[in-house]
Structure 1
Amino acid sequence: MTAAEARRDELPVVETEVLVVGAGPTGLMAAVVLGRAGVPAVVIDHKAGPTRESRALAVQARTMEIYDQLGLSAQVIADAFDATTMQIGDAPSGRLDISTAQVGDTAFPGVRIFEQSRNERLLYGTLTEAGSDVLWEHRLVDLVDRTDDADGRISALVEGPDGLLRIVARWCIGADGASSSVRRQLDLRFEGVTDDATFWVADLRDVRGVPESSMALTFGARTFAVAFPLGPNGHTRLISLAPHDAVTQEQAMASAHDDLGLTVGTVEWFSTYRVHHRVASAFRVRSVFLAGDAAHVHSPVGGQGMNTGLQDAHNLALLLADVCHGRVTEAALDRYARERRPVALHLVHVTDRAFGVIGRRNPLIALFRKRLSAIMAVVAPRLLSTALGARLTGLLGQYRIRYAFNADGGGTPAWADNPTVGRRLPPADDNGADVRSLTWQLHTYGAGTVPRPDVPEWVEGPIAHRADPRGRLRSNRMYLIRPDEFVAAAIPLRHDGPDPAAVRAALAAHDVRAENLL
C-alpha cells in the first residue's frame, strides 16, 4: 500500500449501495426511485442547493406517468402551466392540438410546462420527506471501481466543506450533466457534433405576438424561434436562432422585434449557447453508469432532454433494485444500455438532421423555413388526425418508445410475439393504479379467472382487468409487467391457463435468478 492509499484509508467513510453523482432532475429521480424500492443511496452535488433557474421546461406524457406511479402527478398538475397545442406560423390553420391526438393513449395528454427548478424542488422535497438528503457542496475528486475483485466496491474520493471523505458503494450513477466528471473518470468519449450557429434563450414577460397558452414556431426573414408559455399575460420562454454570433441581450431582443415581429417586456433571464448533439460511447463501465445529460445531449427545442434523463433514472434505479434484492442476476444490468442508449441515439440523430437543415443563418435556408412553415401549417393539422399523427405525438410524449428484445438465435419466441412487448403498459381499466407498487406483476384483460403460473413470490397477480376496448391488450394473453411499467412478456393463454414453458422462457430471458424459476 502506498502512502497516498494509506492516507485515503484514514478518511471518514460513508457506505451505501448506490452513489449518485449529481442532484439535478436525473440524479434526484434516481434517488427517489431507489428509496421507494428500498435501496440505500447517497447523492452528492457540487452546487449549494437545487437549481433556481428554469432551464428545461417541458414535462411530456411519459414523464407524467412516472410521476403518477410515484404519487406525484397531482402536484405537477397543480403547479404546471398546460400547453396542449402547437402553433406553426401565423395562420389560424396552423394550430395543432397535440392533446387530442394523445387522448386514449396516455392518461396525461399534452405537455406540462413545469420548469427544471420545479422538478428539482418536487423531487428533492420527496427525497427529504422520506428521510434522505443530498450532500450539497460535495465534489467528486476520484473514482475507483474494484467491483471485479471478490467483495470489491466502488470507492469515491469526495471533497466537501469539511474536507475529504470516502464514499464506498456497490454502484455509481453519473448524473452530473454534460461536463460530467464521472464520464471523464471513465475516460469515455462524448461522440457527436456541435452546431455552428448560435442560439439565444430568454424568459420574458409581456410578450406579444405569440399565442397565450400554446407552444409556437414563428419564422422571420432571417431567424426563427420556438415559444413556450410559462404562464398568463405573455410570460414566455423564447429559444431563437441568433442573427449573428456573440449576440448581446439587446441585439437579441431587437431581432425578436424586427425579424420575428414580437413585442417583449421584461427580460428575466437571458443566455446564449450552441446546440450539441452528443452521446457517450458507453452508458456503463462495470459498476458505473451514466444517465441524463452525462450520457446524451441534444437540442432543447423538442422538450425531450430532461424527460429522457428522468426516464433513464427511472429505468436504471428499478433495475438496480431488482439486482440488489436478488430477483435478477447481475447480467440484467446490461439491459440498461441496451434499452436506453438507442433511445438517446435516435433522439440525437433526429435533432441533428433537423438542425442540419433549418438551424443555419443562410438566406436560402431562411426562405426554405418560411415556405416549409406555410406548408406545414396546412398539412400538419390533417396529419395529426391520422394514425401516423397519433404515432408521432406518441413519440413526442415518449410513451411510444419500444425496447427491442434480443432473442438468442433466430425467430421471436411466442411470449415476445406481441405488439405490446417492449412498450410501456397501455392504459386500460385503471391499470395505472396497479403499477404504483413498483413491482413485477401479471395482468389479464377480459380473460376472466386465470390460475397463477409458477412464478416467483415477488411477482404480483394475476390481476384481472376488464377487456381493453381498444384491443391493444388481448384476452388470450397474460402480460408480465416490469416495475418500470414496461411489458416484459405476453404469455399465450391455453384452455388450462398460461403456457408454462413460455412463462419459464420469459423469466429466464429477463435474467431472473435460477433459484427463482420454479
Structure 2
Amino acid sequence: MTATRRTPAADRVLVAGAGPVGLTAALVLARRGVPVTVLEAGAELATESRASTFHPPTLEMLAELGVVDALLARGLIAGSFQFRDRRTGPVATLDLSLLSEDTPYPFRLQCEQNKLTPLLVDALGRFPDSEVRFGARVAEVERTSRGVCAVLSDGSRVLGSWLVGADGAHSAVRRSVGAEFHGITYPERFLVASLDENPGAVLPDLAPIAYVLDPDEWMVLLQTPDHWRVLLPTPAGTSDRSELARLPGRLLDITAHPGGPALAHASLYRVHQRVAGTFRSGRVLLCGDAAHVNNPLGGMGMNSGIHDAVLMGRALADLLTGAGSDEELSDCAEERRACALRYVGAETHGNWERLRTRDPEERAALAAELRATAADPAAARRSLLRSSMIDSLRGVRWSR
C-alpha cells in the first residue's frame, strides 16, 4: 500500500506497529483527514491468532470506523460465558443479552485478531494520503524542531509531526522516550493451545467461553471460528519441550480420545502486568501493549488497546484539525493510563486470583456468589457491565 504524498513528510503522523491497535489509530486519523504513515517491522501482517475476543464497546468503535460488519461475518457470536468447576461442571452462566439496553452488540465476538487487521488495512487504503510500510522496524525515536524522527533498524529515518507507539510489549518507542514500565511478572507461564476437536462433546452444557476453576490447575476454554482454544498455567523452571510433551495428558478430562485431544498449535509465554509511567511524552503517544500489558483472563488486552487507539487518536486528530487542545490530548492520555491501572489491570488480576482459589471455604463462597449473581438479572447486568468493559468507558464519548 503506498501513499499519494500531498503533504510534507514532516507533517505526517507516524504510527509504529501494524497490529490491530496501530492500524486502528491510523484509521481514526485518516478518517479525520490527517496524513499518516504506519511503520511495521514485519514483512507482512502478522498471521498469529493471538487475541480472539471482542467486547461490545470495541465492536461499537469498529462500527464507527466502518469495519464491524465484515468482522462479524468472520467471527462467532458468543451470547454467554460461564464459570465451571473442573471437577463438578457448570457453576454459573452469564447471559450477555442482559446488556441489550446498554449496547447494540450485547455479546462477545470470538474472532482472531488476524482477521481484523486486513480489514483495517483495506479501510485505510481508501485514504490516498495514508500508507503502510512493511519491513520498517522502528528502533529509536528522536525529537526534531518540527516534531519527531523515527530511526529504523536499517538506519533510515522517517520524519513526522507526531508518533503513535503501538509496537508491542517490547516497544522501542517506549524505551526511546524513557517511560518506565512498572508492574509484575506472574510466577507461572501461560500455555495456549488450539484444539482440533470440540470439548463440548465430553463437557456437559459447555458455553463458548468458559472459565474453569480448580485449586490445582485452572483452565480457560474459548471457541473461535476455526478452533477451540485452551489456556493453562504452567510452572516456571521447566523446559518448553517437556511442557508441550505432557500437554495432551493434562487435557484428558476435555477429550474423548484416550491419548489426549488433537492439537493444531501450542505455545508457552511469560505473562506480565505492567503500565508505562506515562502514555504521552511530548509528541509521542503510547497505545496498547506498548503502554500496558496484562494477563489474558477476560480478554481485555487487545480491547483496551483499541480503546486507547480510538480515544487518543480522536484527541490527536482534534488537536491537529483545530477542534481540540493540547491539554485535552494530555487529559485523554492520562485517563487511558488511569483506566489501565484501576480497571483493566484490576479486573484481569482479579480473574487470575478467582480461578486459582485454593481454600475450600473461599471456593464454596465464590461459587455461591457466582450462582447468586447469575440468578439475579440486576446483579448479573452490573457484573456484565464491568466484564464487558462498558463501565470502563462510562462518560467517554468516542463517536462524532
Over 3 Å counting, the alpha-carbon distance change for 1:42 and 1:262 in structure 2 is farther
1:335 maps to a residue whose letter is D
Q: Deviations over 1:218-243 (max 9, x none)?
A: 244620101111138xx311111226
Cα distance between partner residues in 2 of 1:129 and 1:21? 20
Q: Per-residue deviation at 1:375?
A: 2.8
Match of 2:75 in 1: 80
The answer on 1:153 being equivalent to 2:151 is no
Partner of 2:335: 339
Q: Tell me the equivalent position of 1:188.
A: 179
Counterpart of 2:283 in structure 1 is 287
Distance (whole Å) between structure 2 residues aligned to residue 352 and residue 212 of structure 1? 24
Partner of 1:237: 229
AA in 2 matched with 1:138: A
Distance (whole Å) between structure 1 residues aligned to residue 236 and residue 143 of structure 2: 46
Q: Find the aligned partners of 2:165 and 2:317 in 1 and give their Cα distance.
A: 17
1:215 aligns with 2:209: yes
Within-5 A mapping of 1:27-38: 27-38=22-33
- Cα distance in structure 1, aligned partners of 2:96 and 2:369: 18
Tell me the CA shift for residue 357 of structure 1.
Answer: 6.1
Partner of 2:347: 350
Structure 1: tracts of 5 or more residues without a match:
1-12, 404-421, 425-483, 487-518
Q: Which residue of 2 aligns with 1:446?
A: none
Q: What is the CA RMSD across the aligned residues, in angstroms? A: 2.5
Counterpart amino acid of 1:54? S
CA distance in 1, matches of 2:207, 2:122: 28
Q: Distance in 1 between matches of 2:287 and 2:109?
A: 23
Alpha-carbon distance between aligned partners in 2 of 1:243 and 1:66, rounded to the nearest angstrom: 38
Alpha-carbon distance between aligned partners in 2 of 1:217 and 1:399, rounded to the nearest angstrom: 20
Q: Deviations over 1:158-196 (max 9, x none)?
A: 24xxx5432111111100000000001011110000111
The two structures have a TM-score, normalised by structure 2, of 0.87
AA aligned opposite 1:156: A
Does the CA contact (< 8 Å) of 1:222 and 1:243 recur in 2?
no
Quote the Cα distance in structure 2 between the aligned partners of 1:252 and 1:380: 34
Q: Deviations over 1:66-93 (max 9, x none)?
A: 1111222211211111111112226786
Aligned to 1:125: 122
- Residue 193 of structure 2 is aligned to residue 198 of structure 1: no
- Per-residue CA deviation, residues 429-474 of structure 1 (Å, 9 max, x unaligned), is xxxxxxxxxxxxxxxxxxxxxxxxxxxxxxxxxxxxxxxxxxxxxx
Q: Distance in 1 between matches of 2:133 and 2:75?
A: 28
Which residue of the partner structure matches residue 68 of structure 1?
A: 63
Alignment of 1:96-495 (within 5 A): 96-131=93-128, 132-146=130-144, 149=145, 152-159=146-153, 163-208=154-199, 209-210=202-203, 214-220=208-214, 222-231=216-225, 235-242=227-234, 245-246=237-238, 248-257=243-252, 264-346=260-342, 347-356=344-353, 358-359=355-356, 365=358, 367=360, 371=364, 374-376=367-369, 378-383=371-376, 385-386=377-378, 388-402=379-393, 422-424=395-397, 484-485=398-399
TM-score (norm 1): 0.68
Closer/same/farther in 2, CA of residues 365 and 68 from structure 1, 3 Å limit: same
Would the aligned equivalents of 2:194 and 2:266 in 1 still touch at CA under 8 Å? yes
SS of aligned partner of 1:401 = helix
| Structure with the largest fraction of helix | 2
Corresponding position of 1:440:
none
- 3-state DSSP of counterpart to 1:278: strand
Partner amino acid, structure 2, of 1:98: D
| Structure 1 residue 320 displacement after superposition | 1.1
Hey, what's the Cα distance between the residues in 1 that align with 2:215 and 2:186?
Answer: 21
Give the AA of the match of 1:334. Answer: S
Comparing 273-282 and 248-257, the one that deviates more: 248-257
* Shift, 1:382, TM fit: 1.6
Identity over aligned residues, as a percent?
29
Structure 1 residue 97: deviation in Å?
A: 3.5
Report the secondary structure of 1:23's partner residue: coil
CA distance in 1, matches of 2:320, 2:141: 21
Residue 4 of structure 2 corresponds to which residue in structure 1?
A: none
State the Cα distance separating 1:21 from its structure 2 match.
Answer: 0.5
For residue 399 of structure 2, what is the amino acid of its counterpart?
E
Q: 1:380 to 1:273 in 2, by over 3 A?
A: farther
CA distance in 2, matches of 1:300, 1:216: 13
Contact 1:212 1:229 in 2 (8 A): no
- How far off its partner does 1:141 sit? 2.8
Shift of 1:352: 2.9
| Residue 269 of structure 1: how far off its partner (Å) | 1.7
The whole-number CA distance in structure 1 between the counterparts of 2:312 and 2:192 is 31
1:49 aligns with 2:44: yes
- How far off is 1:245 after superposition? 4.7
Q: Is 1:14–1:166's contact at 8 Å kept on the other side of the alignment?
A: no
How many residue pairs align between the two structures?
381
| Structure with larger Rg | 1
| Residues 489-517 of structure 1, C-alpha deviations (whole Å, 9 max, x = no match) | xxxxxxxxxxxxxxxxxxxxxxxxxxxxx
